[in-house]
Amino acid sequence: MEAQGEDIMDSEEIIPFHDDQTEIAPAPMAEELIRKICNRSAKAGVVGLGYVGLPLAIEMARERFQVTGIDLVKGKVDSINSGISYVLDVASEALLHFVSRGQVKATQSLAAVEALDTINICVPTPLRKNKDPDLSHVVAAVEAVASHIRAGQLIILESTTYPGTTREVALPMLEKSGLKVGKDFFLAYSPERVDPGNAAYNTRNIPKIVGGITRQCAEVAVLFYRQFVDRVVPVSSPDCAEMVKLLENTFRSVNIALANEMAMTCHSLGINIWEVIDAAKTKPFGFMPFYPGPGLGGHCIPIDPYYLTWKARMNGCEPRLIELAGHINSQMPEFTVRLIADALNESRKSLKDSKILALGVSYKRGTNDTRESPALQVLAELRKKGAIICFSDPYVPHISVAGETLKSVPLVPETLQSMDCVVILTDHSVVDYSLVAKFSPSVVDTRNTLNGFSGSCLKVL
């Protein structure tokens, strides 16, 4: 990709920028940083080396940036420095290539921030037990950056969060150093939009939304991302960029909730929800298919809407539709357990003491990520009701259920035949489903994976 120098924001439509200062010419620090970015002498850094941070670091390295990854987990740091990837979307061969050339290295030392020119913060933003936002990881990361900040740095927060976090939380912490945003350092927000396991869309070809605290901040951040991302979309403020991500995932949460409620309704009426959706999506306008499942999982969709509802309530708004969607989606693991109980009942068996195999435990196909996976909730509920549980997943070697560690079992005819019921919770494409259909005495399919197979043993969500 060619470096973009002058008029760096002209190739995208710019939404009017809200700024409390008029910047007539680039700050000297901005000019120097732009020069470093364009000639690849800028030292890039990524704080948080998970499913977002590691792929981001690799894309930077592909465009000849020297990248330092920072993570407090020693196992991740050691793995990266050995050229071994723990993220399925990053091949170990690619990681080893950049590590061996000295373009990518990892460290646990937060002091490494001082030597960096750009810092992308990609740390988790979970929920507290009461479903309020937990910004402890963001605060810790920003505090670490603030303690080592120097003039001329670009700092970008990518962690999903509520509107106002960059301006109200990160900015005051960074300016305690005495440095001035837009003049001495540059601060922006750009929401991560990764979709683990998606072969078509990745860090490079998913458009990057960018909102800067000042116009100068936005221009430098846009220039940086354009070095290794195909399309960058500037917006008027970090608050807008923060809301973009919440809208995207709340949209999915609400529509999945509708699909899940329709599934439960169709089940009560004896109608196949999958046939209904397939027929409905033949309409060439006014309908977008969403699909039911055993619940919501992952680091975004089950969590992000609560960041939005919390912020909305703080500002006197009652987001009832969003909260209701969350309630509906949270019912699906229990509904799945009821389907399993019904399937066993048809074989004159009770849930208690029945052997049940969960097929797939990651939150979605093609990934080893089990964060917020509904499969874990289903297994925990089955265990609570006295079932004997086990699982098989080609990407996940072990999980913890109710404090007990379970290891993935091989998916072979003998295993399937020994079960009372098999429940398909994650539809990994590498699984031989003909084997499942042929040798399982009873199957509950929550993903419509066995569509096309027939048999009295099959029970579809």
Q: Is 38 a catalytic residue?
A: no
Q: What are the percentages of helix, strand and coil residues in the chain, rounded to 5?
A: 40, 15, 45
For 424, list phi and psi in degrees, rounded to 5.
Answer: -85, 110
Cβ neighbour number for residue 231 with a 10 Å cutoff:
13
Alpha helices in 149-237 (DSSP H): 165, 171-175, 215-226
Distance, in Å, from the CA atom of 291 to the CA atom of 289, rounded to the nearest integer, reads 7
H or E element that contains 12:
none
β partners of residue 211: 189
Catalytic residue among 300, 317, 390, 421: 300
Computed over its alpha carbons, how large is the radius of gyration of the chain? 24
Distance, in Å, from the CA atom of 404 to the CA atom of 426, rounded to the nearest integer, reads 21
Residues with Cβ < 8 Å from 69, sequence gap 6 or more? 45, 46, 49, 53, 54, 57, 77, 80, 104, 105, 106, 107
* Residue found under tokens 């290794």: 228
Report which DSSP code applies to 109.
-
Instruction: Convert 429-452 to b/e letters by CB count within 10 Å (16 or more is b).
Output: eebebeebbebbbbbbbbbbbbee
Residues with catalytic annotation?
A: 300
